[in-house]
Amino acid sequence: MKIYAIDLKGKIPLPDGAAIEFLRVEKALARLHSPFALIRYALHGVEQKYGLRLDLDKRVVLDHFEDDEKLEQMTQNALPRIIEVVGDALYPRQAQQPEAYFSPQTALAS
Tell me the residue range of the domain where 72 lies: 2-106
CA dist., res. 5 & res. 19, Å (int): 22
Q: Which residues, in sequence order, are CB contacts of 47 under 8 Å at separation 6+?
A: 23, 40, 41
Q: CA 9, CA 50: separation in Å to the nearest integer? A: 18
Reported pTM: 0.79
Mean pLDDT of the chain: 84
**Of 61 and 102, which is predicted with more confidence?**
61
The secondary structure element, H or E, covering residue 87 is helix 69-90
Q: For 59-70, write each residue's pLDDT tens digit.
A: 999 999 999 999
Average pLDDT over residues 77-92: 89
Task: Give the count of domains, the chain.
Answer: 1
Summarize pLDDT for 16-42 with one digit per residue, the tens: 889 999 999 998 877 667 889 999 999
Cα dihedral 66→10→89→62 (10° resolution)? 0
Whether the per-residue pLDDT at 106 is higher than 50: the answer is no
